[in-house]
Amino acid sequence: MASFVRTGRKIVAIGRNFAEHAKEFNNAVPTEPFFFLKPTTSYVASGGRVEIPQGVIVHHEVELGVIIGKTGRDISEAEADSYVAGYALAIDMTARNMQDAVKKKGLPWSAAKGFDTFTPISSFIPKESISDPHNINLWLKINDTFKQNGNTTDMIFRIPRLIQHISSIMTLEEGDLILTGTPSGVGPVEPGDTITAGLAIPSSSSSSPLATLK
Amino acid sequence: MASFVRTGRKIVAIGRNFAEHAKEFNNAVPTEPFFFLKPTTSYVASGGRVEIPQGVIVHHEVELGVIIGKTGRDISEAEADSYVAGYALAIDMTARNMQDAVKKKGLPWSAAKGFDTFTPISSFIPKESISDPHNINLWLKINDTFKQNGNTTDMIFRIPRLIQHISSIMTLEEGDLILTGTPSGVGPVEPGDTITAGLAIPSSSSSSPLATLK
Ligand SMILES: [Mg+2]
Ligand SMILES: [Mg+2]
Ligand SMILES: [Mg+2]
């Protein structure tokens, strides 16, 4: 599954899965998970450049990605872990002013979330490297300033529940990516900014993160 | 591109591209195209069965599908035709009550449009078989009753404009499908109903449609 960026067919992104982030925009904390789709053409590898389209306010949302290892539908929470091949660090770039406009009109989020380069992604992290995906530090800096610094323990819906929910609607396939939601601190990026993000195990004796994106 | 169902990575579906359909739900006629994404796991071939999830009101929307033949970004209207490999007849099945609920809340359409089997699709129609894609009859029957009977001449935004718009946001790749919107007459399907849809050239001396779905 190291080739998920090339071979995967969908990106399923969970909205508002951290209470503090939901509150940033005065959104209600959800009572069940919801998701949107991003196209795989939005992937960009670490070191790449993120597009800032004319007139668009682009926000960063650092997230833990879950990579699916085998095909399944109607997966139970109990079985969910066996469908996980590994993880990745991702940023769910969002055209916030476009999203605000379509939300008011009840229109789809797909354009606001779907520009080329709107899903910066790390390389594949094997499942064995992360013993507890619900205790992972996620951080993001713009230039030298920390903007997001959260922990996946604060997810409202945990990974097995996300897999159960998505797969109750659509088949998950090998190479699909689930974006599990962002902690608080999202905000705009400007042309010329450097975005650095990291994913690390808090208890790790090593100070080096498992993944970084730049 | 006959293998687009197996190899394509996205389905980009245009909303409200026929004025009479927009008016069915008291929606404004759009002044620029908008789209949502459907997962490729929603494909089902002719002869297959469409899922009607518990508690869900599922509507049919018969549409002309455009299959992309080569990768492109920022494609101009003038160049658009060279990116078209062919066509397909499709039905954009829609969980209407779910869609109504998320529209009110400003939430994504992805679940309401994305269930497995929500994109019945014909086999590939080579480009040469359709000399004018803006003069194609699209019809749909439930059991023996005609429900939709339109012509692609009534599209608000024509195919080159759709390709230009989508590709101004995301790269279109070989095997991607664009659903070009549905004429009026959409409505619910019930368990046990047989849906038949067809796509035909009006001037054709032959009475047999180019594609049917059942
Ligand atoms: Mg996000
Ligand atoms: Mg959407
Ligand atoms: Mg439609």
- Note the ipTM here: 0.95
**Pairing status of strand A43-45 against strand A58-60:** unpaired
pLDDT digits (tens, 9 = 90+) for B32-48: 999 999 999 999 999 99
Burial of A181 (0-12, 13-18, 19+ CB in 10 A): buried
A vs B: CB pairs below 8 A: 96
The alpha carbon of A214 and the centre of ligand 3 are apart by a number of angstroms equal to 38
In three-state secondary structure terms, A159 is helix
Count Cβ atoms below 10 Å from residue B144 Cβ, excluding itself.
Answer: 7
Residue B187 in tokens? 């409505």
pLDDT digit string (tens) for chain B, length 214 residues = 889 999 999 999 999 999 888 888 888 889 999 999 999 999 999 999 999 999 999 999 999 999 999 999 999 999 999 999 999 999 999 999 999 999 999 999 999 999 999 999 999 999 999 999 999 999 999 999 999 999 999 999 999 999 999 999 999 999 999 999 999 999 999 999 999 999 999 976 555 678 888 7
- Within chain B, where are the H helices? 4-7, 19-24, 96-105, 110-114, 159-167
- Residue from B145, B190, B179, B172 nearest B36 by CA: B179
- Say what the pLDDT of residue B97 is: 98
Q: Phi and psi (nearest 5°) for B120?
A: -60, 135
CA of B68 from ligand 2 middle (Å) equals 21
Rounded to 5 degrees, φ, ψ at B150 are: -130, 180
Q: Which of A12, A41, A51, A75 has the most B C-beta neighbours within 10 Å, making it the best mutation to test the interface with B?
A: A41
* Residue found under tokens 């689930």: A178
Query: What are the mean pLDDT values of chain A's consecutive 10-residue runs (214 residues total)?
Result: 94 95 85 97 96 97 98 98 98 98 96 98 96 97 96 98 98 98 97 96 72 82
pLDDT for A2 equals 85
Residue-by-residue DSSP string for A63-83: EEEEEE-S-BSS--TTTGGGG
Ligand nearest the Cα of residue B178 is 3
Interface of A with B (CB under 8 A): 9-10, 12, 15, 34-42, 53, 73, 102-104, 106-111, 114-116, 169-171, 173
**Are the beta carbons of B37 and A114 separated by less than 8 Å?**
yes
Residue B25: predicted pLDDT: 84
Cβ atoms A172, A72 nearer than 8 A: yes
Return the amino acid letter for B101.
A
Kindly list the distances between the CA atom of residue B73 and the CA atoms of A116, A120, A150, B68, B99, in Å, as whole numbers in the listed order: 9, 18, 35, 12, 30
For residue B4, what pLDDT is reported?
97
Contacts with B81 (C-beta within 8 Å, 6 or more apart), sequence order: B159, B160
For residues A83 and A50, the answer to whether their CB atoms sit within 8 Å is: no
SS3 A213: strand
Chain A residue nearest residue B113, CA to CA: A169
Domains (ranges, CATH) in chain A?
4-213 (3.90.850.10)
Report CA B106 to chain centroid distance, whole Å. 23
N- to C-terminal Cα separation, chain A: 22
Give the pLDDT of residue B21.
Answer: 83
Which helix (DSSP H) or strand (DSSP E) does residue B179 occupy? Answer: strand B177-179
pLDDT at A212: 82
Six token digits for residue A36 = 């949107």
Identity of the residue numbered B214: K
